[in-house]
Structure 1
C-alpha cells in the first residue's frame, strides 16, 4: 500500500489528533453563555458547569494512561486509528444529548480519544521527524489544537446565530465527527514509527521507513545510516531491560526525565492558558463585554493564539526550549498579578452579570478594557511559549523503551490538572473573583525556578543524544552549551561512506 513519506504532510494530517482536543475545548466554551444551551440544560450553576466542562478532561486522563500500553503493543499508528473511532462515537453521543448526564457521557468518551491522541501524536511525530526540525514538526500538534479551538468556536458561533433551539448546539457537536473520520482514513496511508518497528526487531522495515522519510528511499544515505545506527543502539538497550511499568518510570536512571516530562505538562496547565480558553466568555463578560461583543472578543483571542504559535514554529528549534519556557513563565506571572491588581482596585462585587449568577465581580470602562488587553497579551505569550513547547519537550525527554508510557504519563498529568482546573475555575470566578489570578501568578513564579534548575536544553539534538545528556548529569542551565554530535556523525559518514558498507556501525565505533 502507498505510504506518505513527506514529514510535513504526515504532520499536517497527524496533528488532526490535536485538532480534536481543540474542537472539544471550544465546543463547550462557545455555548456556556448562550440562551440555547442554558435553557436546554436548565441553567447549570458554577459547580455543575465546572463538572460538565471537566468531564472531557477526566476521560482524557484515562485515555492518556491507557495510551502507552496500546501504543507499545499495537504501534503508534494503530493506537491513533483506534482513537479516531472512539472520537466519532463520542461526537455522536454529544450530538444526541438529552440531558446533562448524557452530555457528560459523550464528553468523557471523546476525552478518551483526546487522551490517546494528545500523548501519542507527539510521540509518533517525534519518532518520524529528523532532529533538526523535530520541534517545529511536533509543535504543529499545538498549532492544530489552536486551529481546532478557533474553527469549532466559529462553527458554534454560526450555529448559535443561525439556528434556533437545541439544533444549534447539536449541529456543532455533530460536526466534530468529521476530523476524526479524516484522521482515521489518512492513517491508512501513514508509515509506522521506525523506532517502534526497531523495538519489535523489525529491522528491515525500520530501515526502509527511515530511508523513505529521510533519504528519498536510499538506504545507504549517510543521514539514514547514522540515524539507523542510533535507533538500533537505543532498541538494543531497550531489549536488555524488562517490560516497562509505570513504576519503572521512577527508577534510578529515569526519574529525572519523568519529572521533566510530567511537570512540563502540569506547569502548562497551571500557567492558566487552557483555563482561559474554556472560560473566555466569562472573562469578557466580567470585563464589561456583553452579547455578541463578548463573542467577537473571544474570537479575537483565539485568532491571536493561532497566529502567535504559527509565527514561532519556524524558529522554535533555533531559539531553544529553555528560553521560551522561562520567558513565558515570567511574562505570564507579571500579567496574572497585574490582572488581579486591576480587578481588585477597580472592580466591584455584583449579584450577577447579564443574568449569569456565576459571575459576581464586574469591571467597566478603562479598567475592563485593560483586563481584556492583558488577556490578549497573555494568550499571545502562551501561544509563543508554553503552548507548543510543553508538548514538544515531553515528547523528547524519554528514551525509546519508556517513551510511549512516559509521554502517556506526562499527558495524564496534563489532563488530571486540566480536569481539576476546569472544574475549579467556574466556582472560583463566583467565589474568589480576582484572587483566582493571584493563584495562577504564584504557580508561574514557582515554575520559573523549576525550569531554570531542572530542565536541560533538548533543541536540535537527536532523541538518542538527549539520552546521553540526561545520563551525563550535566547541570540544566549549562546544557545549551553542549554541541550536538548528530551533524558531526553525518559529516563523518559522508567522508568514509562506500556503497554496501555498514557505514553507521563504523561511525558509531569511532564516536564511542
Structure 2
C-alpha cells in the first residue's frame, strides 16, 4: 500500500539525482535525511530511551546466555543424562529443539504483540525463560533436557522477535540502528557470561552439578526483567494503532526528552496517525473489493479460539498482496535466513566441541575468545551502523566472513579429526597440527568479527522495512525464518562434519555467504536515518529503493 501524494510528509520526489528525500546539511555519511527525521532525533538519545532500551535488552542477554551456555553444558554433562555419554545425535536434538520451538513461537508472538501489545509479549517470554531454566537444571534424562530447551526456545523465539520491534517503534529514527544494536550487544554479552560461568563452574564446582548451575542461572535475569517490564511504557506506534493517542503522545514526549519540543512530538505523532489512517482506508478498500469478512473467526470451530490468537485475514492480504510489503518480507526473510545459514550459531552451540576436536586443552576457555570477539565487534557495530549505514556494513563485512570460513577450512585440512558418536576427543594432530589449530582459531575470530559488525545485528532491524499494519506479522514471519534456519544448522552441523569433513563444511558456509552478498547487493536499500514510515516507503520504487540511497 502506498500513501497518496498528499499523505506523504516524509517523501518528496525532487527529480533525478536528488533521490526521494530532501537533502539537508546534516547528512550522515552521505545519506540524506528529511526535516521530520532530523527533528525526531538529531541529538544524542535521552536517558529515558536508554533506560527503555537497556530494560528491553535484558531479553537479548537471556537469548545470548541460553544459546551460549549450551556449548559449555554439552562438554560438562558427562553421563548425568540417561546414564550414558551423549552421542552426536543427542547433542543435535538438545541444541536444535531450542530453535524448533523458537520457530513455532515467533509467528504466535506476532499475533499476541498486535492484540495485547509488545510489552506483554516480553513479560510472557520472561515467564518461559524461568520455567525452562528450572526444567533444565532438574533434568535427569535427555528427554527432559529437550523439554527444558524447548521451553527456553519458545521464550527466545518470542523475545528475539518482539524486543527489536519494541525498540524500533520507540526509538528516535536517527538512533534506531544504534539502539537496536544494543539488544544484539546484550546477546553477545550473554554469550560471554555463559562462557565465563561455564569455564569457572567446570573448573571449580562439583562436576556432577556444575552444568545444572550453568543452565539454572538463566532464570535470574528473566526475573529481573519481569519486574522492569511493569515500569516500561507500551510502544507509541502500537498505542496509536490501538486508539490510545494521548498515551502515545506522552511516550513520544518522554523519548524526545529535554531536547524535544511539543511541536516535534506533534509532528512525529501526526506522521504515525497519517500512516494508520491511510492503512485503515486501504484495508477497507480491499475488503470491499473482495467482499470478505473482517475476521476469520466467523463460525465453526474458530468460535472456540480466542480472538487475539487469530490474524485478521486482511493483514495476510496486505502482507502478500501489497508490493512494498511483499518486498519487505522478502528482504527480512533473506537477511534472517542468511544470518543463520552462514553457520555462525554452529560455533555458538558447538564451539567447545570444535576446540576439543582441534586439540585445545581448555576448549571452553578457548571458546570464550570467540564470544569475546563477538562482543567487542558488536560494540564497533553500535558505533558504525547508523553512521555508515546498514547496506554498506553488510557489503563490507560479508566478504570478510567468507574469507574467514575459507581460511578455517584450510586450517582444518591439516588436522585429523574424529566427530563420531561418543568421541569428542581429537586424534593426535598430524604434522603441523599446532599451527593448523592456530589458523583455525584466528580464522574463526576473523569470521566472527565480520559477522558481529554486519549480519549479527542488521537483520534485527527488520521492523523498519514494514508498514505499521503488517509490521508485527512480517517481523514475526521473518524471525520464524531465522529460527527455521537455526534449527537446520543446529541439527545438521555435526552430521555435516562427519559426512563432508570440517573443511568442506566450512567451505559450504562460505558459499552461502557469497550468494548472500549478491542478493543483499541487489535488493537491500539503505534505511539508516529514516523514520519507520519513510523507510517502508522506499520499497515502492521499481529498483526496491537500492539506487535511491546508496
TM-score normalised by structure 2 residue count: 0.82
1:231 aligns with 2:272: yes
Q: Distance in 2 between matches of 1:361 and 1:210?
A: 62
TM-score normalised by structure 1 residue count: 0.87
Contact 2:80 2:140 in 1 (8 A): no
Which residue among 264, 267, 278 is the counterpart of 2:338? 267
2:412 matched residue in structure 1: 343
1:303 aligns with 2:372: yes
Q: 1:170 to 1:237 in 2, by over 3 A?
A: same
Q: Distance in 2 between matches of 1:377 and 1:261?
A: 25
Equivalences, count: 471
Q: Distance in 2 between matches of 1:64 and 1:266?
A: 14
Contact 1:360 1:429 in 2 (8 A): no
1:395 aligns with 2:466: no
Q: 1:229 to 1:180 in 2, by over 3 A?
A: same
Shift of 1:87: 1.2
Shift of 1:362: 5.1
1:134 matched residue in structure 2: 176
1:115 matched residue in structure 2: 157
Q: 1:53 to 1:201 in 2, by over 3 A?
A: same
Q: Distance in 2 between matches of 1:476 and 1:446?
A: 21
- Decide which structure has greater helix share: 1
Per-residue Cα deviation, 1:385-442 (whole angstroms, up to 9, x for no partner): 11111212x1211111111111111111000110110111022222322211111011
Which residue among 213, 221, 229 is the counterpart of 1:171? 213
Contact 1:351 1:360 in 2 (8 A): no
3-state SS, counterpart of residue 201 of structure 1: coil
**Gap regions ≥5 residues in structure 1:** 482-512
3-state SS, counterpart of residue 15 of structure 1: helix
Which residue among 306, 321, 346 is the counterpart of 1:251? 321
2:127 matched residue in structure 1: 85
1:418 aligns with 2:509: no
Per-residue Cα deviation, 1:475-504 (whole angstroms, up to 9, x for no partner): 5441325xxxxxxxxxxxxxxxxxxxxxxx
Q: 1:361 to 1:444 in 2, by over 3 A?
A: farther
Q: Distance in 2 between matches of 1:10 and 1:329?
A: 31
Which residue among 288, 292, 298 is the counterpart of 2:359? 288
Shift of 1:349: 5.1
Q: Distance in 1 between matches of 2:73 and 2:429?
A: 21
Per-residue Cα deviation, 1:436-480 (whole angstroms, up to 9, x for no partner): 111101101110110000101111110011122112334544132
Q: Distance in 2 between matches of 1:70 and 1:98?
A: 34
3-state SS, counterpart of residue 548 of structure 2: helix
Q: 1:255 to 1:180 in 2, by over 3 A?
A: same
Contact 1:27 1:172 in 2 (8 A): yes
Q: 1:399 to 1:360 in 2, by over 3 A?
A: farther
1:33 aligns with 2:65: no
Contact 1:215 1:223 in 2 (8 A): no
Name the stretch that deviates more: 381-390 or 248-257.
248-257
Shift of 1:33: 2.0
Q: 1:48 to 1:351 in 2, by over 3 A?
A: closer
Contact 2:357 2:424 in 1 (8 A): no
Q: Distance in 2 between matches of 1:296 and 1:17?
A: 25
